[in-house]
Structure 1
Amino acid sequence: MLTQTDKANDLAERFGGELGGEFAPASIPISRIAEDYGTPFYLYHGEMISERVRRVHESLGTEVSYSLKANPSLGVCQLIASEREAGAEVASSGELAVARAAGFEPEDIV
């Protein structure tokens, strides 16, 4: 079973390591991110999201749709829409508005 330290070390390794003993995703100290954006905050790794979407699309060899129910964050949706590897699956008018604002083409929204 992984300890909290093991989990923290794994996270730091996967998201960019550390700088001066501090977790630093994309070489930006986490304390600076907290100062700039406040806390709490969500931190996403765009390259990792893009890679996962690409892998799912390639593995299935068919059209895939990202469910906005999972995470309707406009930034995440914009990233996925820009990659053109997945469409959007929506279940409400609010999710539809986010999908359109993110740049999903109408024909790619179900």
Structure 2
Amino acid sequence: MTDSLPAGFTPWYPSSQFMRHLNDLGPFYRRKADNVLALRVTTAHGNMHGMAHGGFLATFADSALGLVISEDAHVSVVTAQMSVEFLNAVNPGDWLE
């Protein structure tokens, strides 16, 4: 595992109280040039099998989409419905964008 960040990423500090709580599990990063949110997955994001918890991954994806859409459209948005199908496990040490 490496602690270095890919080029262009800086710490992202969420404005919502819920996302600030999740950010305490391990910091989020943002590459503003192309509106990408990311994080380095740690054991704090894990489930009982040692991989990233699916609920956390879905929440992170929902928040990333909401941020990008609201900033691009200049309106507030909320998720009305969301369905997630996981393609593979995400493990501690993985860089997730």
- Under a length normalisation based on structure 2, what TM-score does the superposition of the two structures give? 0.29
Give the number of the structure with larger relative contact order, counting CA–CA contacts within 8 Å between residues 6 or more apart: 2
- Under a length normalisation based on structure 1, what TM-score does the superposition of the two structures give? 0.26
Which protein is richer in strand relative to its size? 2
Which protein is richer in helix relative to its size? 1
